[in-house]
Structures are given as structure tokens and as C-alpha cells.
């Protein structure tokens, strides 16, 4: 098979949202299509073992037969999620995958802070407090025969807001009053049980966590989290002709996605474009179970 080139950063190459275009502008872009390409599809599936629901993410983007036609971007297509930088869209999406796979009904969403009397002097001291808090929880669970908790947290420590952290964590076998007493560093901790949306699971909550306006822009997670499946890629799932129809009609996009991924229900999608190339990038989410 002839080699195609697509190792470029999609977010940098396709910055403009297609839904802001007038119909005639979109039609013109589709007709222009200035360089030859195939549309490559990357699919990632993330299944929650507890409730059986599976999130599917589909990215459809141009792949070029000539290297010189590939957009010149600062980064490659995918950055390592281990960077955990919330300024990076790939990292945000990875966080949301982990949240949907590992947490659900009855788990806990919490916000903890510090009173003036025990305010950490710097970020490292704050992280130490959180690490010790998690250790206390795990020691308490060990006494009752439970394993270590799963967690994802984001620390807000930027000098603009009072230090605090948001945390998604295991809820089974944990009493909220006891949990709040184990923290013990603020008068008004906020803990609640997660009630997932029937379709979107906890995507909304995970999105809120990842968009934390006063955070360090980095997230931390326990090592015992279940991981998403490995991406699969295809050059044939969506032809250029199909993509050109999909970007012009939300209904057509939904229909083609549900046709390509049998058994999954379409949730939402984002379409971006490059005015320079007159080409498109589609990111869609679907659910099964």
C-alpha cells in the first residue's frame, strides 16, 4: 500500500469550527479541496467494567500522499497523556476516558480546601497533604479488607483563588462523613455521590473537572485505574466523498457514524476545518450499553 502522511497535530492544523460558516462558505470549501488526500479514521473505545457502558471516540482527518502537503505543525498528531497537561486537548480527552471507565453511580465527587490555620506554603506542600489524605483513606480501607481507592484529582493553586482540589474517587465502602473527617483541614468540604447521565455517563462532570479555571493545569491519578483500549486506525471507514457530505449536515454526520459503528448511539461531534487546505477534521463521540 502506498504510504500516506498524517503525523501532524490536528488541533493546530484545523483551528476553525465549521458550524460558524455560512452554508455557501462550507459548500465552497468542499468544492475547493486544494490538495489530494484520503481521510483516515482513528477509533478509541473505553469500557466501564462496572456498568458495561462503552464510550467510543472517532477522529476523522486528512492523510496525504505527499509529505509536502501535510500541514506543518509544532507537534505530532498525538502527545503522551502522561504529560497530564490540561492545556492539551489530548490530555483532557484522556482524562475524560479514564473518568468514564473507572467511575460511575455511587462513586464520589469531592472538593476539599484548607483553613487559614493549615494553609500549605506552596504547591509541593499541598500535594503532600493530598498524598497523606489518600494514604489515610487506604489505611482505613485496609482494616476492613478493601483495596486502595481509585482517584483522579486536580489541584487549584495559582495565587488567584483560595487553594483547593477537586477529586473523583471510589465510593464503595466509604462513608462521606468519615471521608470528610479524614481530610480535616477545612470547615466546609463538599462531597457528593455521582449520579451519571443515562447517555453521557460522567462526561459532563469530567469536562468540568478538566476545565477547572484556577487549577495548575495538571491532573494526577492513581496507578490502579483501568485504561482505555488501544486506538485502531482505518483508511477506508470514511471516504472523502462521505466526509464532504457529513461536514455539511449534522443529520448526515450522525447517520454515517451510526452506520459505520453498528450498535453505538451518536452523542455529539465537532467539525473543524483548515481554510488553507480546504479540508476537514471530525471528532465524534458515541455510546453503547
pLDDT in tens, 221-236: 999 999 998 999 999 9
Does 273 have pLDDT greater than 90?
yes
Range(s) within the chain of domains with CATH label 3.30.70 = 106-193
Residue of 50, 36, 158, 43 lying closest to 103 (CA atoms)? 50
Residue corresponding to grid cell 453511580: 105
Residue 213 has pLDDT above 60, yes or no: no
Compute how many other C-beta atoms are within 10 angstroms of the C-beta atom of residue 169. 22
Query: What pTM was estimated for this model as a whole?
Result: 0.89
Q: In 3D, which of 126, 181, 175, 182 has the Cα closest to residue 154?
A: 126
More confident residue, 205 or 17: 17
- Please indicate whether residue 78 or residue 33 has the higher confidence score (pLDDT): 33
Q: What is the CATH number of domain 106-193?
A: 3.30.70
Amino acid at each position: 500500500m502506498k504510504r500516506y502522511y498524517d503525523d501532524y497535530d490536528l488541533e493546530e492544523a484545523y483551528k476553525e469550527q465549521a458550524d460558524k460558516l455560512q452554508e455557501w462558505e462550507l459548500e465552497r470549501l468542499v468544492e475547493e479541496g486544494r490538495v489530494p488526500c484520503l481521510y483516515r479514521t482513528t477509533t478509541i473505545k473505553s469500557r466501564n467494567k462496572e456498568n458495561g457502558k462503552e464510550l467510543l471516540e472517532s477522529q476523522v482527518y486528512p492523510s496525504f500522499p505527499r509529505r509536502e502537503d501535510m500541514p506543518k505543525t509544532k507537534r505530532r498528531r498525538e502527545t503522551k497523556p502522561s504529560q497530564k497537561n490540561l492545556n492539551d486537548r489530548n490530555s483532557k480527552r484522556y482524562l475524560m476516558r479514564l473518568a468514564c471507565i473507572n467511575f460511575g453511580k455511587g462513586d464520589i465527587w469531592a472538593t476539599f480546601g484548607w483553613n487559614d490555620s493549615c494553609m500549605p506554603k506552596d504547591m509541593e506542600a499541598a500535594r503532600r497533604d493530598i498524598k497523606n489524605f489518600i494514604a489515610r483513606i487506604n489505611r482505613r480501607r485496609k482494616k476492613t479488607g478493601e483495596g486502595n481507592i481509585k482517584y483522579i484529582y486536580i489541584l487549584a493553586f495559582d495565587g488567584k483563588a483560595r487553594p483547593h482540589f477537586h477529586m473523583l474517587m471510589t465510593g464503595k465502602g466509604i462513608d462521606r462523613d468519615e471521608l470528610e473527617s479524614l481530610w480535616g483541614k477545612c470547615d466546609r468540604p463538599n462531597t457528593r455521590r455521582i449520579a451519571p447521565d443515562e447517555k453521557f455517563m460522567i462526561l459532563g462532570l469530567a469536562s468540568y473537572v478538566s476545565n477547572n479555571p484556577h487549577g495548575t493545569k495538571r491532573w494526577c491519578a492513581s496507578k490502579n485505574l483501568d485504561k482505555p483500549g488501544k486506538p485502531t486506525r482505518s483508511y477506508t471507514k470514511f471516504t472523502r466523498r462521505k466526509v464532504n457530505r457529513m461536514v455539511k449536515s449534522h443529520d448526515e454526520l450522525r447517520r454515517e457514524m451510526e452506520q459505520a459503528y453498528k450498535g453505538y448511539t451518536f452523542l455529539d461531534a465537532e467539525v473543524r476545518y483548515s481554510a488553507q487546505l480546504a479540508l476537514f477534521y471530525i471528532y465524534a463521540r458515541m455510546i453503547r450499553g
